Amino acid sequence: MTKEVFITGSSRGIGKEIALYLAKSGFDIVLHCRKNLEQAQDVQKEVEKLGQKARILQFDITDRQKCASVISKDIEQNGVYYGTVLNAGIAKDNVFPIMEENEWDDVINTNLGSFYNILKPIILPMIEKRIKGRIVTLSSVSGLAGNRGQVNYSASKAGIIGATKALSQELAKRGITVNCVAPGVIETDMIKDIPSDEVKKIIPMKRFGTPKEVASLVNYLMSEDASYITGQVISVNGGLYS
């Protein structure tokens, strides 16, 4: 049976590219979005053109009950996922002394809260069905090194690293790997407001990364070849703060 991978936030940006890369490798894809259903439907068509199956789940990853009900129903109807990519995330940048409550709460609840909300309904069925599958989380160079104006985002992404490492230890004996990809600055909507020229100067490779350069690593971590890699944080950052 074809292996299926669920990718949060796969309507655009890095998540979309991960979906297409994994589809090219022969995985069926469970797409996901919050608002942009039309964009997700376009990705669905692209996945189908590559000869793989795709369906779309739409919900807000901060809504714990919705996550549990939609994911549990999907697993009941279509079977347990082989892989999950926790990709969806947001940034709401501000320097800490004037950071608003909602800027802190929204970023923590979306980026870190979703680790619990999404994986809780997924892991137990994986264990029960003895699926030797794959979990990949998305952190950031900000979670590893910290970044001015991103105390909220850095905290959420550092939290993801801790959660990934701890879960990898719990699941290792079951053959489920849990790894984290930490991108540097990648060309997507998320970075549209940053001062590009200034930021490029501090990146050793003097350019931003592409979503495809992140997707290829996720694809490797999903593969059979990566079966003995777990609990790792792997950067894709053009040498930034390495």
Note whether 238 binds ligand NDP by CB under 6 A: no
Q: Which of residues 89 and 131 has its CB atom nearest to ligand NDP in the complex?
A: 89
Quick one: which segment of 42-50, 116-124, 180-188, 217-225 binds ligand NDP (CB under 6 A)?
180-188
Q: Contacting ligand NDP (CB under 6 A), which of 5, 7, 13, 118?
A: 13
CA angle, residues 10, 11, 14, in degrees to nearest 5: 50
Contact (Cβ atoms closer than 8 angstroms) between residue 136 and residue 88: no
Q: What's the burial of 194, exposed, middle or buried (CB within 10 Å: 0-12/13-18/19+)?
A: middle
If binding is defined by CB under 6 A, does position 88 make contact with ligand NDP?
yes
Q: Which member of 4, 5, 7, 11 binds ligand NDP (CB under 6 A)?
A: 11
Q: How far is CA 104 from the centre of its chain?
A: 20
Residue 15 sits in the site that holds ligand NDP (CB under 6 A)? yes
- The answer to whether 110 and 89 have CB atoms below 8 angstroms apart is yes
Q: Is 35 in the site for ligand NDP (CB under 6 A)?
A: yes
One-letter amino acid of 85? V
Sign of the alpha-carbon dihedral angle for 106, 110, 113, 117: positive
Nearest to ligand NDP of 56, 127 (CB atom): 56
Distance CA 158, CA 182 (A): 10
Residues 53-72 that bind ligand NDP (CB under 6 A): 60-62
Supply the minimum distance, in Å, between the C-beta of residue 74 and ligand NDP: 15
CB distance 67 to 59 below 8 Å: yes
Q: Does 12 bind ligand NDP (CB under 6 A)?
A: yes
Site string for ligand NDP, 109-148 (x = CB under 6 A): -x---------------------------x-x--------
Which one of 12-20, 74-82, 115-123, 225-233 is the stretch in contact with ligand NDP (CB under 6 A)?
12-20
CB-based contact 17:215 (threshold 8 Å) = yes
* Catalytic status, residue 81: no
How many angstroms separate the CA atoms of 131 and 75, rounded? 13
Q: Which residues bind ligand NDP (CB under 6 A)?
A: 9, 11-15, 33-36, 60-62, 87-90, 110, 138, 140, 183, 185-186, 188-191
The catalytic residues are: 153
